[in-house]
Structure 1
Amino acid sequence: RKSSSQIDSDLVKQYEGEVQYWQELLRRLVSVVKFLCVRGLAFRGNNELIGSSNNGNYLGILELLSEYDTFLAEHISKHANKECCPNAVEFFNLLQNLYSWFVSSTHRWQVHRKHLRGLPVTKALSDTRWSARYDAVRALNKGYHENMSALEELQSDENQPRDSRLVAEGFLKKLQQLEVAILVEVWDTVLERFQKTTVHLLESLLEFVRSQRSEFEYYEDKGIAKSVVKVYKETSKREKTRKRQFDEGCSKETIFSPRERFRCEVYLPIMDALSSAVQHRLHSYMHIQNKFGFLSNICELSKDDIRHAAIQLMETYVNDFEDCFPSEMIHFSEFYKTVSGQEKKKTRNSSTEIEMLLLLNENMCSHIFPNVHIALRIYLCMAPSNCCGERSFSKLKRIKNEARNSMGQERLNFLSLMSIENDVVDSLF
């Protein structure tokens, strides 16, 4: 009674030890389930619950994680839909489906090639894997009428299956729409600028995209000249009138014309989304430029400026550079001024940083300037890391393979969701 501990202190310690044990066990199980789900690896066993006599792999956690993942994924979706233009997505789906359908049959592809003879369009389409690439849009734009001619021939060919003729008719109606013709012209121009723009020209690219917001009439005229149908799709639709409530005023509702609706709901959102994407990319590059930008101006900077920039870079990459890096950088600047005059003639089309790296390698000086060599390699390897990976396979084929034919629909849904939304799963717990 005189001690501060309770009578059942041993029981409390035992209880707390069991709680900690099961918490650690649950944490390990969640990590294992996350690891397997994200990578689409196989599970074994049934959906046993924790604490049962046959625990197996504790796959009951899979349902719990999937439900929470579903909630978070529906919330990443709502945010993404605010920045997504359904018409732009539909256009690129049309582009991909048109190509896939043309190459799915040898006969149809031969008919298509006959109408595109002599044009580089065929090769551009056949080389395209990513539907949003500039080559694919340019191919459709250059061979727009040839594609429609091929579809018309396939549609009227009685030797073709009925399903194939119906598909050809659907594609033909799409290409005849004025909206599709305008989007072809828009994306052809915009993606061409994106394709040819380097990092140093991102600011001018941003200004170019912003200037296109006021160029709708230009693309509309080009689309009208290209399209078979000269009016917007909604022109022939009957206007819907909304039933007024008793507490509403008597003023008339503002009804956009089909042209204004397309401009405000499709064209302007596309340009705004592109501007936002380029601005975000520019901000990322400027963050890197603040650290490595001194390399391209090393001949114009003073020794103090070079030393200060090298020290800042060392503070960012603590484990990559030695303490002698500032003085080594100053020495390299003098070496670059002396040697680069003759070598620049050979590599004048390359950037300054690439020229520096080539000078070190060709003159076998990487051991003399090891820290400079490391800095150049870090900087030059950053551009590819800015690209997004391209998934050319189906998650379902990976998850439900020949070894998992007995998998139930519920578990398949859970595994597919967690594998697709792997970034959400990684953020759990």
Structure 2
Amino acid sequence: MALGLRFADSETLHIREEFIEFTIVDDLRSESLGQFILSRIEKLGLDMKLCRGQGYDGAPNMSGHLSGAQAFISSKYPLAKYVHCIAHSLNLVLTDSSKIAEIKHCMMVIRETVNFFHFSAKQSAILKTYTALNLIGLCETRWVKRHDAIQISKQLIVPIFKALEEIETDGDSVTLSKARSLLNNILSLDYIVTLIVMDFFLGYTLNLSKLLQSENIDMVMCIQCVESVTKMFKEIRNSAEGRFHQLFLEATRLCRELEVTLVMLRKRNFFTIPSDIPAEKHIEFYYRVSIFLPFVDQLIQSIESRFTKHKVTLKGLGGILPSFVVKQPSSDLKELIKLYASDLTSSDSTVMAELELWRAKWLKVVPSLFPKIAVQSLAECECGIFPNIYKLLSIFCVIPTSTACVERSFSSIKRIKTYLRSRMSEDRLNGLTLLNVHRDVLVSVDEILEKFAISSPRRLQFKV
């Protein structure tokens, strides 16, 4: 298990997410995991009473609302609100959309094509004679990398075709059979149209996925960006005929270059084409209805269902941000004040008065100059005048938006714990990982030698 902390730096007013350690977990039951997390926090000398958020990747034994580890911790510390990793939620949205048969088949072909060239130096060398670019494998967990893989597969479809043709005419029986199978898949209109459609839609989610993994953002910016992408998808859905026509023209040009005949290879029994559709538009209509529309519909539906709980979180603390506080009366925030009463230093009436002053301050400001995120609002909040608002903004800053910080640590462990170091102890692994992750932290060589020298009397001769 990887453990990380999110906190607001009081000096720089920046949100920081820091990897803390790897720990070995033997018991994966929810309650045991919850107890284990609490014990590690206590060992670090931190007070869980000050914790205001939990973030996990969505595994049932961690995120279960009845018996998950988060429920166990929340029962002891009610203010430690659980938030499902928002970047992981977007990954699940894209995974839901990939369950469409044509999408699954396209990704399977990409995966097999990449493996075909990567697992053979000879076949890889043949591909390099047609392009200097390298194919990228489909990462099982990171959709940013999946988009790169889909984009490069689309970009290199012609060089891949030429390389497979060469391998098909000059290879052993097994290689020839595999190359021919890949050629048949790649030279199908189903594959070409699906690849272009996937590349089109993932272009809208690529930067969103990167943004949601940033540490210096809050739930407001996350939800605003998600809603912006959702709005764009709905606009695309409403103008589907024109949008898909451009994509189909691109597919037609690519088919012409690859000498692929524009025919529907597979027509479902229940699929009928309206009589008012011209014959030359039948193929375009078929792929628009069978691939383009189901994909965008699934994207919209999954986004709206998977981000509902995040919007509930935003509705609470987000109400104190300038862009929200000027639009709603202070009375709407009574539940928020009641929830965090133990964190506030004044009575309810004083906090309400403070909210009125906070609201009046921003009513004088042009909306375009409002802070965009909570940490910017925190910088604009005078602690002496608005002590309770400052506290609420601080809480909002530390509510986790993603678990990308701790998940990145697994990239470090792959570099550190190789097969030559497979018996490395937990302490040593944590030490090396911390050095690798926190490269910006300067380590004093003199302090290390000092500790080494006094750790045992027989090593005193090394003392500096």
Q: Cα–Cα, structure 1 residues 289 and 146, in superposed 2: closer, same or farther, change >3 Å?
A: same
Q: Cα–Cα, structure 1 residues 355 and 261, in superposed 2: closer, same or farther, change >3 Å?
A: same
Q: Cα–Cα, structure 1 residues 206 and 268, in superposed 2: closer, same or farther, change >3 Å?
A: closer
Q: Which deviates further from its counterpart, 180-189 or 146-155?
A: 146-155
Q: Cα–Cα, structure 1 residues 171 and 328, in superposed 2: closer, same or farther, change >3 Å?
A: farther
Q: How does 1:181-220 map to 2 (within 5 A)?
A: 181-197=192-208, 198-199=225-226, 201-211=228-238, 213-214=240-241, 215-220=243-248
Secondary structure in structure 1 of the residue aligned to 2:151: helix
Q: Please, which of 135, 159, 167 is the counterpart of residue 148 of structure 2?
A: 135
* Equivalenced residues, count: 288
2:286 is the counterpart of 1:225: no
2:124 is the counterpart of 1:113: no
- Matches of 2:102 and 2:350, distance apart in 1: 56
Amino acid at match of 1:384: S
Quote the residue 1:20 is aligned against.
none
Kept in 2, the 8 Å contact 1:125–1:139? The answer is yes
Secondary structure in structure 2 of the residue aligned to 1:234: coil
Q: Cα–Cα, structure 1 residues 309 and 95, in superposed 2: closer, same or farther, change >3 Å?
A: farther
- Matches of 2:377 and 2:351, distance apart in 1: 14
Kept in 1, the 8 Å contact 2:323–2:370? The answer is no
Cα deviation digits, residues 310-369 of structure 1 (max 9, x gap): 432244567766665885687599799999xxxxxxxx99833132356689x9999986
Amino acid at match of 1:94: V
Kept in 1, the 8 Å contact 2:164–2:183? The answer is yes
Runs of 4+ in 1 over 6 A off after TM superposition: 80-83, 332-339, 363-370
Quote the residue 2:277 is aligned against.
none
Quote the residue 1:301 is aligned against.
326
- Matches of 2:231 and 2:271, distance apart in 1: 37
Quote the residue 1:421 is aligned against.
none
Q: How does 1:273-422 map to 2 (within 5 A)?
A: 273-281=298-306, 283-297=308-322, 301=326, 305-306=329-330, 308-315=331-338, 327=350, 351-357=372-378, 371-379=391-399, 381=400, 383-384=401-402
Which fold has the larger relative contact order, with Cα–Cα distance below 8 Å and residues 6 or more apart in sequence? 2
2:158 is the counterpart of 1:145: yes
Q: Which deviates further from its counterpart, 83-92 or 180-189?
A: 83-92
Kept in 2, the 8 Å contact 1:212–1:271? The answer is no
Q: If the length of structure 1 is used for normalisation, what is the TM-score? A: 0.52
Quote the residue 1:154 is aligned against.
167
Q: Cα–Cα, structure 1 residues 143 and 95, in superposed 2: closer, same or farther, change >3 Å?
A: same
Kept in 2, the 8 Å contact 1:115–1:149? The answer is yes
Larger radius of gyration between Structure 1 and Structure 2: 1
Kept in 2, the 8 Å contact 1:174–1:180? The answer is yes
- Matches of 1:325 and 1:170, distance apart in 2: 71
Shift of 1:226: 1.0
Cα deviation digits, residues 4-33 of structure 1 (max 9, x gap): xxxxxxxxxxxxxxxxxxxxxxxxxxxxx9
- Matches of 1:93 and 1:216, distance apart in 2: 23
Q: If the length of structure 2 is used for normalisation, what is the TM-score? A: 0.48
Quote the residue 2:117 is aligned against.
102
2:277 is the counterpart of 1:264: no
Structure 1 alignment gaps of length 5 or more: 1-32, 40-79, 241-252, 340-347, 393-429
Q: Cα–Cα, structure 1 residues 349 and 373, in superposed 2: closer, same or farther, change >3 Å?
A: closer
- Matches of 1:232 and 1:177, distance apart in 2: 9
- Matches of 2:263 and 2:293, distance apart in 1: 17
- Matches of 1:108 and 1:366, distance apart in 2: 67
- Matches of 2:183 and 2:264, distance apart in 1: 14
Cα deviation digits, residues 387-424 of structure 1 (max 9, x gap): 9x99x9xxxxxxxxxxxxxxxxxxxxxxxxxxxxxxxx
Kept in 1, the 8 Å contact 2:318–2:324? The answer is no
Q: Cα–Cα, structure 1 residues 34 and 334, in superposed 2: closer, same or farther, change >3 Å?
A: closer
Q: Cα–Cα, structure 1 residues 373 and 114, in superposed 2: closer, same or farther, change >3 Å?
A: farther
Q: Cα–Cα, structure 1 residues 350 and 318, in superposed 2: closer, same or farther, change >3 Å?
A: closer
Cα deviation digits, residues 256-312 of structure 1 (max 9, x gap): 57665544333332222122123324544433332233243269639x934x35432
Amino acid at match of 2:294: P
- Matches of 2:186 and 2:285, distance apart in 1: 21
Q: Cα–Cα, structure 1 residues 199 and 217, in superposed 2: closer, same or farther, change >3 Å?
A: closer
